[in-house]
Structure 1
Amino acid sequence: MTIREAKLEDAEVINQLNTYPLNHDYPLEETRNQLNYLLSSPVNKVFVRIVDERVVGYIQLSEYVCTYGPKLMNVMALVVDENIHGQGAGKSLLNHAEQWAKENGAKGIRLNSGVERTEAHKFYEHQGYERVKNQVNFRKLF
């Protein structure tokens, strides 16, 4: 088991993981462009989990800074191949992200999880995360 920073060559596997099980259907070329940007950003980080020389999951962090609380890292995505659920891949990615966040001055981790992802909620609670509030998510694309 290895966790390393993502590379641009990981874009295809990340895109596949986004499509299933996360249900984010997004063009591969756009995923590659976004990953390229994230890899060069000082306030974003993407780590991948390797098993048997194959990427089986990833976690994406983004700096979360506001005027009403301490600096946190925001988990933008955490996904593991469903064929290896329950084998510790998600937990190890989350632990790795937490350690990286501490080393980079964050006071904690925050994340949002879709209301329908009840198994993910149980996982996060088991990892010591507490449910803070319910929200409605808005978006406007240009």
Structure 2
Amino acid sequence: MTIREAKIEDIEAINQLNTFPSNHEYPLEEAKRQLHYLLSSPTNKLFVSVIDTKVVGYIQLSEYVCTYGPKLMNILALVVNENFHGQGIGKSSLTHAEVWAKENNADGIRLNSGVERTEAHKFYEHQGYKRVKNQVNFRKLFD
């Protein structure tokens, strides 16, 4: 397995991972537009995990800077194709993200995980992440 920065050509695989297992259906053309933006952004990074030329997972990070805490990198997504679970891909993705975050002067990493994702919580805790608080997520989309 190799981990590399995402390329625009990876969008179909990324979009498929977003749809299943993540249940985030989003039109491919819109996802492609978002990926174009992310690839050009100095404060966002998306790495893909590749086995035999096939994208089997990805991790997305974004800078998290506020006036009440240190500069962190925020993991927005960590997805591994279910057929490849248990092969160390998630762990390797986290390690890769942590190295990139340190190289970009972050003091650490934060992430949010849905309350129902108990297996993911165990995984993150096993990787040294600490549960900080429970939250409710709000969203308002503009027309």
Q: TM-score, normalised by structure 2?
A: 0.98
Which residue of the partner structure matches residue 37 of structure 1? 37
Could you say what secondary structure the match of 2:14 adopts?
A: helix
> Distance in 2 between the 1:92 and 1:40 partners?
24
Tell me the residue number matched to 2:65. Answer: 65
Residues 79-94 of structure 1 mapped to structure 2, 5 A cutoff:
79-94=79-94
Runs of 4+ deviating beyond 6 Å: none
Shift of 1:60: 0.3
In the alignment, what sits opposite 2:123?
Answer: 123
- The equivalent residue for 2:51 is 51
Structure 1 stretches lacking a partner, 5+ long:
none
Structure 2: tracts of 5 or more residues without a match: none
Cα distance in structure 1, aligned partners of 2:32 and 2:116: 28
Once the 2 structures are TM-superposed, how far is the Cα of residue 52 of structure 1 from its aligned partner? 1.2
Give the drift of 1:103: 0.5
Question: In percent, how many aligned pairs have the same letter?
Answer: 80
Question: What is the CA RMSD across the aligned residues, in angstroms?
Answer: 0.5
- Show the counterpart of 1:136: 136
Aligned-partner residue type, residue 121 of structure 2: H
Specify the SS of the correspondent of 1:16: helix
Q: Distance in 2 between matches of 1:116 and 1:140?
A: 22
Q: What's the CA shift for 1:57?
A: 0.2
